[in-house]
């Protein structure tokens, strides 16, 4: 098991080096003194299709999963997937729990003009065990810079399965992207659906979310990973936006933003709900954000787009967030 994780960590490291090299040579444009560069595969035009055959005990369906990256043929067979050329990962996943194979799809390519965009959906994902017991969970559509080791082997703490962020050393000015958004059912009424019992209504309405964190990370002698928050972009979208908004720009705010007039509690340090990475020992560990520091050098960037917020199994069924042309501003 340790060898598998260690091998995966090496692949992730190589993958991020390729992504950063591509970022440096990607086509760029100048606006005044600024430079705007498309992230690798940020135009969402290239996708890999995977075909997963689910176990007969849960119905034996065939599921298709879609990953952002370069590939020519559909990958058939229940095999773990790791991209070798793209820094992007998605919430769509192949799981094998207690010998039972299952696929879950929440991110899709969608035709847009002469190319494609990414469609992120919050969906009720269910299965019927032996044709008798229905188990249904709510799954939020997410794309992010990082990785998702497969197969997922249990349903405990789904957020801990996501390896968040890539090595990155620039203090950028902001990000630019195209988007549109459709609220979920009943005006975006939020709920928690964890597969046990009935759906639990929650206060408030659903919102799509964009998060970019620039961090200064380090690892201690015990393999624990810590980070100072250097820069922050964090926005939620809680109203329908049926038409494309092109070149939407969000600027990075550096240092401690808790005194900023636009600060919201969800933008704070990720202490109660940490994100995860792989340490130098090949172990998946939480990223412990321990403070703010605008002057610290940047070592990593987290970038995430989601059709909902609030953690695992929380959202509004039917919520859809379309994303295209993701760029960074220098």
Q: State residue 156's pLDDT score.
A: 81
Number of folded domains that form the chain: 1
Q: Quick check: 327 and 36 in contact, CB under 8 A?
A: yes
Angle among Cα 318, 319, 320 to the nearest 5 degrees reads 110
Angle among Cα 108, 109, 110 to the nearest 5 degrees reads 110
Tell me the pLDDT of the chain (330 aa) as tens digits. 434 444 444 444 454 454 444 444 444 455 558 999 999 999 999 999 999 999 998 889 999 999 999 987 799 999 898 888 999 999 999 999 889 999 999 999 999 999 999 999 999 987 666 554 567 889 999 999 999 999 998 878 888 899 999 999 999 999 999 999 999 999 999 999 987 778 899 999 999 999 999 999 999 999 999 999 999 999 999 999 999 999 999 999 999 999 999 999 999 999 888 999 999 999 999 999 999 999 999 999 999 999 999 988 999 999 999 999 999 999
Domain that holds residue 51: 2-329
| CATH code at position 153 | 2.60.120.890
Q: State residue 136's pLDDT score.
A: 85
Q: Would you give the DSSP letter of residue 85? A: S
Backbone angles phi, psi at 317, to 5 degrees: -55, 135
Please state the pTM of the whole predicted model: 0.89
- Give 206: exposed, middle or buried? Use CB within 10 Å, 0-12, 13-18, 19+: buried
Q: State residue 133's pLDDT score.
A: 54
Q: State residue 195's pLDDT score.
A: 79
Q: State residue 315's pLDDT score.
A: 94
Residue 222, SS3 per DSSP: coil
User: Can you tell me the distance from the alpha carbon of 324 to that of 180, in angstroms, rounded to the nearest whole number?
Assistant: 9
Four-residue CA torsion sign, 164, 157, 68, 52: positive
The helix or strand, by DSSP H or E, that contains position 306, with its residue range, turns out to be strand 300-306
Q: State residue 83's pLDDT score.
A: 86
Q: State residue 154's pLDDT score.
A: 83
State the CB neighbour count (10 A cutoff) for residue 215: 28
Q: State residue 1's pLDDT score.
A: 40
Q: Quick check: 103 and 65 in contact, CB under 8 A?
A: yes
């Amino acid at each position: 098991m340790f060898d598998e994780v260690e091998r995966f960590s090496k692949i992730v490291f190589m993958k991020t080096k390729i992504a950063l090299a591509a970022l440096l040579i990607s086509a760029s444009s100048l606006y005044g003194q600024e430079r705007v560069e498309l992230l690798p595969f940020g135009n969402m035009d290239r996708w890999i299709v995977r075909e997963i055959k689910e176990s007969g005990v849960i119905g034996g369906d065939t599921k298709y999963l879609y990953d952002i990256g370069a590939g020519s043929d559909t990958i058939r067979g229940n095999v773990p997937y790791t991209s070798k050329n793209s820094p992007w990962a998605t919430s769509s996943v192949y799981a094998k729990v207690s010998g039972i194979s299952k696929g879950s799809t929440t991110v899709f390519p969608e035709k847009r003009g002469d190319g494609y965009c990414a469609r992120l959906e919050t969906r009720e994902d269910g299965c019927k065990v032996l044709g008798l017991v229905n188990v249904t969970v709510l799954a939020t559509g997410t794309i992010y810079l990082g990785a998702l080791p497969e197969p997922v082997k249990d349903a405990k703490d789904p957020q801990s399965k996501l390896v968040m962020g890539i090595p990155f050393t620039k203090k950028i000015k902001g990000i630019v992207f195209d988007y549109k958004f459709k609220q979920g059912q009943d005006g975006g009424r939020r709920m928690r659906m964890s597969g046990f019992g009935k759906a639990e209504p929650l206060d408030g309405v659903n919102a799509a979310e964009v998060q970019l964190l620039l961090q200064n990370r380090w690892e201690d002698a015990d393999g624990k990973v810590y980070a100072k928050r250097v820069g922050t972009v964090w926005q939620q979208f809680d109203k329908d936006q049926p038409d494309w908004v092109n070149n939407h720009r969000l600027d990075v705010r550096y240092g401690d933003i808790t005194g900023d007039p636009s600060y919201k509690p969800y933008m704070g340090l990720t202490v109660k709900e940490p994100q995860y990475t792989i340490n130098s020992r090949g172990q998946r560990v939480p990223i412990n954000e321990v403070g703010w520091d605008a002057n610290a050098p940047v070592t990593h960037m987290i970038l995430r787009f989601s059709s909902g917020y609030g953690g695992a199994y929380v959202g509004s069924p039917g919520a859809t967030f379309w994303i295209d042309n993701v760029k960074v501003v220098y």
